[in-house]
Structure 1
Amino acid sequence: MDDHEELINSLHKEGRLTLEDIPELDLYMDQVIQLFENNFAASKRRKDEKVLTKTMINNYAKGKLFFPVQNKKYSKEHLILISMIYQMKGALSIRDVKNTLDRINEKITEESFDIKPLYASVLKLSRYNKSRMNELIADHITEVEAEINQMEDSDEEYLEKVLLIETFTEMSNLYRKAAETLVDHLYEQKEE
């Protein structure tokens, strides 16, 4: 496969909203959308995709994925939560995202919880995860190439991609299942 390096490099296109990217001033919805479009543009699969829309934000608000907005303006805390929602919604249901963030929202509104240190840890772990993922993908590629070398077929490149796709989706499903199990534990604790 000629594009192994391209595949690994594509992981670094995934955008993240850093604490420095988030203005201290509260933003209106259109400004929030623009901020996310600018910071997550490289992560879009297709140019015509939208990172965030008014409908999405309204649905998150109606679904109580973040605490209520004041005067139609979104605070730094809202932007952090929306960024976390953006990352989680690709793997988890909206209900699971809500269950994950419920206590954080309560802590922000009832305890004046400072979410910035938690988000700094999210960003730090994200950098680590990307680095670790590069190593895992290289390992998977090596394993798949070994399997392909044992096959006698003229369509090796295609079959290699199929095996890699199968491997990556399986890994994704395993990680998603692990996350769902943790969400279920959070939900069970909340019910108690």
Structure 2
Amino acid sequence: MEKLTELLNKLHFENQLTPDDIPNIDLYMDQVIQLFEHTFNSSTRNEEEKVLTKTMINNYAKGKLLFPIKQKKYSKEHLLLISLIYQLKGTLSINDIKTTLNGINENINEIDIDSFYRQYLDIAQSNVAHFKEDVTSRLTEIKADTKELEQVLHILSLVHMSNMYRKTAEKLVDQLTTT
């Protein structure tokens, strides 16, 4: 169990870009990438994995996952949306992300995105605590003939839970298109 606790801590689930991390000036693409690398680099699976690239940002802009960028500079609102995209892309398709963020992008001037994003951060922090408790408690429930088989069962359990969460999220995205 101690190994699992160490593993969970090494995953840095708490890493988040906060509104306070973002300078009060618009940033160029290289500065955006640097900020995201600094914030999320310890959360990547290995050193080769990129948090964010110019191609990714350009694809988000072309795919209309972000409201239009002005003079090649990204505002605080753009950065908060890119952070949400970063969180969503691990589970949802680009089309589902576009659908999810469409209302925000269309109403960016009417939404207090800072407040909305802070609500997301509070939820994320609570999710991390619940997740760690849940994973740890499930470990005690799993018994097999060998440690390797126990680990395989644990992996299967985590993937199954992940699939259920993903499918539920996809159905909620589908509901956004029908409202």
Pair 95,183 (structure 1): closer, same or farther in 2 beyond 3 Å: same
Structure 2 equivalent of residue 26 of structure 1: 26
Deviation at 1:3, TM superposition (A): 1.6
Counterpart CA distance in 2 for 1:32 and 1:142 is 42
Deviation at 1:112, TM superposition (A): 3.2
Counterpart CA distance in 2 for 1:32 and 1:130 is 25
- Higher CA-based Rg: 1
1:160 aligns with 2:122: no
Given that 1:37 and 1:52 are in contact with CA atoms closer than 8 Å, whether structure 2 keeps it comes out as: yes
Given that 1:16 and 1:39 are in contact with CA atoms closer than 8 Å, whether structure 2 keeps it comes out as: yes
Cα deviation 1:10-33 (Å, max 9, x = unaligned) = 343552101111111000000000
Deviation at 1:61, TM superposition (A): 0.3
Structure 2 equivalent of residue 68 of structure 1: 68
Counterpart CA distance in 2 for 1:170 and 1:10 is 22
Structure 1 equivalent of residue 134 of structure 2: 136
Counterpart CA distance in 2 for 1:181 and 1:11 is 28
Structure 1 equivalent of residue 176 of structure 2: 186
Cα deviation 1:131-160 (Å, max 9, x = unaligned) = 00011001210111xx32xxxx4xx11111
Q: What TM-score, normalized by structure 2, do the two folds share?
A: 0.96
Deviation at 1:48, TM superposition (A): 1.5
Question: How do 1:107-118 residues align onto structure 2 when only pairs under 5 Å count?
Answer: 107-108=107-108, 111-118=109-116
Counterpart CA distance in 1 for 2:165 and 2:93 is 14
Cα deviation 1:49-95 (Å, max 9, x = unaligned) = 11000000000000000100000000000000000000000000010
Task: Give the residue type in structure 2 aligned to 1:4.
Answer: L
Counterpart CA distance in 2 for 1:89 and 1:12 is 17
Cα deviation 1:85-140 (Å, max 9, x = unaligned) = 000000000100000000000111xx432200000001011110000001100121
Question: How do 1:86-101 residues align onto structure 2 when only pairs under 5 Å count?
Answer: 86-101=86-101
Q: What TM-score, normalized by structure 1, do the two folds share?
A: 0.89
Query: What secondary structure sits across from 1:12 in the alignment?
Result: coil
Q: Unaligned regions of 5+ residues in structure 2, if any?
A: none
Structure 2 equivalent of residue 4 of structure 1: 4
Given that 2:12 and 2:42 are in contact with CA atoms closer than 8 Å, whether structure 1 keeps it comes out as: no
Deviation at 1:6, TM superposition (A): 1.6
Among the aligned pairs, what percent are the same residue?
A: 55
Deviation at 1:166, TM superposition (A): 0.2
Q: Unaligned regions of 5+ residues in structure 1, if any?
A: none
Task: Give the residue type in structure 2 aligned to 1:168.
Answer: L
Task: Give the residue type in structure 2 aligned to 1:21.
Answer: D
Query: What secondary structure sits across from 1:182 in the alignment?
Result: helix
Structure 2 equivalent of residue 81 of structure 1: 81
Structure 1 equivalent of residue 55 of structure 2: 55
